[in-house]
Amino acid sequence: MPDDYRKYLDPQRICKLKSIELKAKFIVEGFITGLHKSPYHGFSVEFAEHRQYAFGDEVRHVDWRVYARTGKYYVKQYEEETNLRSYILLDASSSMRYSSSENYLPKIEYASYLAAALAVLMIMQRDAVSLVTYADKIRRYLPPSVKPSHQTLILKTLAETSQSVSESEGEKTSVANALAEFAKRLEKRSLIVIISDFWDDVGKTIAALKHFRHRQNEVIAFHLLDKVERDFSLEGDAELLDLETGEKMTTSPKQIRAAYLSAFQAHAGRLRRELSDNGIDYVLLDTSQTFDLSLLAYLRKRGEML
């Protein structure tokens, strides 16, 4: 069937695979296959670990084994020769634990698979990639690298982070605080990808992200939610629990649905409007959606930068 590749992009199918490395590679494989099908015509992905010899290159960097096989001169690319520095910032606060049903992955699990696929795709494209996890401050910081061993470390850290968040309570979000701490580590113009549910002060979040654009960085904000957080489709009486503060409220979702949707649309609408107005790509996702939407947004932004 022409859409067989989409099975590699479905969150529920991916979660049944054993390791996060396998999950990431399946997502990337499905995405690359999808690039050759509608609606992705015009996009391409290069995965060369060598580049053709150019006048002025040092002879000591020539890969003689490749020459023996092909009769052409190629030089090995090293970390300092990578195309981009990319940073993946992952929200690891307790609100990311949420899942409304067994039909949807917890947000942190979905986000971890997305971050893993992005990391694999970036390293395959010879982009140095960093992983930063945060809640109210930075929890883990892996500096940018393109080495295969670095990919392994990123995937291991993502698996550990997903497990830790799924068991956590009371880890509050402060996007502004975490980004201010991260800004001190940022030296060169980079691509910054942030994955969060953005349940935080919207004004402070926008100001923090705008700071990176003012410093000439490119930014993609993936606003990741559970489907129920977007449509509030709860039935009967419900006890609502704030996973970050522990506060509880028993209510009838039907009675407050209109007010919730109005508040949510104002929140998400302000994020989208102000980020877009400042040249920041804003992508609203939920955990029922396939991963290709996110990877395509990244690939489009990367193409604009090169």
For residue 244, the model assigns a pLDDT of 65
In the chain, what are the domain boundaries?
50-77, 80-305
- pLDDT score for 205: 95
Beta strands in the chain (DSSP E): 50-52, 74-76, 85-91, 128-134, 138-145, 191-196, 218-225, 238-241, 248-251, 281-286
CB 88 within 8 A of CB 130: yes
- The number of angstroms, rounded, from the C-alpha of 89 to the middle of its chain's C-alpha atoms is 7
SS3 at position 273: helix
Distance CA 272, CA 226 (A): 18
120 phi and psi, to 5 degrees?
Answer: -60, -45
The pTM for the full model equals 0.83
Domain 80-305 in CATH: superfamily? von Willebrand factor, type A domain (3.40.50.410)
Taking the C-alpha atoms of residue 300 and residue 277, their distance in angstroms, rounded to an integer, is: 18
Joined tokens for residue 58: 């040092």
145, 129 in Cβ contact below 8 A? yes
| pLDDT at 284 (0 to 100) | 96
What pLDDT sits at residue 253? 72
- Give 289's contacts (C-beta < 8 A, 6+ positions apart): 11
The phi, psi pair for 18, rounded to 5°, reads -75, -55
* pLDDT tens digit at each of 306 positions of the chain: 346 667 778 999 999 998 999 999 999 988 888 776 655 555 656 544 555 666 566 677 677 777 777 777 766 655 444 568 999 999 999 999 999 888 899 999 999 999 999 999 998 888 899 999 999 999 999 999 988 889 999 999 999 999 999 988 777 888 999 999 999 999 889 999 999 999 999 999 999 999 999 999 999 999 999 999 999 887 766 666 666 676 777 777 777 889 989 999 999 999 999 999 999 999 999 999 999 989 999 988 888 886
**Residue 123: per-residue pLDDT:** 87
Place of tokens 């690298």: 145
Query: What pLDDT is attached to residue 69?
Result: 75
CA dihedral 163, 164, 165, 169 (to 10 degrees): 130
